[in-house]
Chains A and B, each alone.
Chain A
């Protein structure tokens, strides 16, 4: 893969809120078509990294290049327009709006004619949402809300979909289903950066992985290799 340029290239990223920096010196590459897992213990900085990539968390230094464009310090709407969608932790749906409106809001920046086709495509991935389009998003189950959140991300027609902790608060069975769909979306050509605290859930779905500990990348490699690497456990447990 080394011969072609990375879709996403992050180098030397320092970022965080206020005086304290959460991330320091983060380097990360993602190639078109990959499903990359970003794992690490609670508080390691995973969500902050996604926020920094999305333009939601200020950068102190470093560089973000995406699809040949410099997105360092780009505003969130420019990040979305460039082809990166962020599915935030805890879904963050508009609870009093219908499922359909939530999904369409994902296409807010688009003026092309294919929005309807993409809505149909989201329904193909999540047939369970088919008869719930008119319902308020808040009335859905946690699993269904996660589907809407991913669907909303897809409605921007991203080249890269960043999904933050989709397993949060869901039963293992529902989690498996959500991960299966994420893999299907990936097979259909959308690159994915998957943030997860659950190590194997993420690694078994991924091609490659990065392990964050205390705001730094401490390990990276193929997902198969990381699954076997005892250092991952050390990074989580601190021994």
Chain B
């Protein structure tokens, strides 16, 4: 299996603060990779670097055989990287269907108008919003706004879809529904990088998880491995807790 996305030594600074420090990992075609970490860990900055919204200060980002770390966002989108934003900003005066069609007009697919609407209907079906296609977006609930955000990104026909906290603000039932949506999208053949700060969300769908904390990569492994990692436990529960746990394990 070859790497669809390869991140190699990516560093991003804002003033004196390193938001990302020499981050390296690969995403294999067909997987769902979870990227987790407490607020301020650098998750969104990482996603911004991959999608071209931010430019890394050092390191290389390769996507599908091309270096994309120095390219503009629209170029990267056309190469097949779709993304959602944590704070969704649909076009408020347009319907759900029209919003989704915008992705198809300008993304990797760059379809003519009729084709874009057909593509919009297809992705709305996929994310479970076909019945709301003609509704104005202002009438949507929070979970539906998140779904539409995914639909807009999918309409660009990405090979790789970057999801930035699409479960944030959802209740447990809505989270389960959103997870089903992610699984459906994945089954349709899209490679996914899923960013979340709630761990439970990623363990439900990801076989592999990368943990960021203060811009550094703490761990990369299966959810099980990662959740046992003392550095991860320290990042989430505090230093004392991690120490006590290690002592307890040492003493059996």
Contact = CB atoms under 8 A, between A and B. Distances in A.
B38 A199 contact: no
A19 B171 CA distance: 12
Interface string B85-124: 0000000000000000000000000000000000000000
A42 interface: yes
B237 interface: yes
A178 to B, nearest CB: 15
A239 B201 CA distance: 10
Interface string A23-46: 010000000000000000111000
Given A239-B223, A239-B227, A20 B200 contact: no
Contact of A214 (B141, B198, B224, B227): B198
A226 to B, nearest CB: 11
Contacts of B39: 42-43
B3 interface: no
A237 B142 contact: no
A201 to B, nearest CB: 6
B244 interface: yes
A90 B238 CA distance: 18
A43 B238 contact: no
Interface of A: 19-22, 24, 41-43, 172, 197-201, 204, 214-215, 232-233, 236-239
Interface string B47-63: 00000000000000000
A42 B38 contact: yes
B199 interface: yes
A41 B169 contact: no
A198 B239 contact: yes
Given A42-B39, A200-B241, A237 B236 contact: yes
Contacts, number: 69
B172 interface: yes
Given A24-B171, A42-B197, A43-B197, A236 B236 contact: yes
A41 B241 CA distance: 13
Interface of B: 38-39, 141-142, 168-172, 197-201, 203, 223-224, 227, 232-233, 236-241, 244-245
B237 A199 contact: yes
B116 to A, nearest CB: 29
The 8 closest A-B pairs by CB, nearest first: A238-B200, A198-B238, A238-B199, A200-B240, A20-B169, A42-B38, A199-B241, A199-B237
16 contacts: A41-B38, A42-B38, A43-B198, A172-B239, A198-B240, A200-B238, A204-B240, A233-B237, A237-B232, A238-B198, A238-B199, A238-B200, A238-B201, A238-B227, A239-B203, A239-B223
A215 B170 CA distance: 10
Nearest to A20: B169
Given A237-B199, A238-B199, 14 more contacts: A19-B141, A20-B169, A21-B171, A41-B199, A41-B236, A42-B39, A43-B168, A197-B238, A198-B238, A200-B237, A214-B172, A233-B245, A238-B203, A239-B203
Contacts of A41: 38, 198-199, 236
B237 A198 contact: yes
Contacts of A201: 238, 240
A237 B227 contact: yes
Contact of B142 (A19, A43, A233): A19
A204 B243 CA distance: 14
A22 B171 CA distance: 8
A169 B141 CA distance: 36
Contacts of A199: 237-238, 240-241
A51 to B, nearest CB: 16
A238 to B, nearest CB: 3
Given A20-B142, A201-B238, A233 B233 contact: yes
B86 to A, nearest CB: 12
A110 B134 CA distance: 57
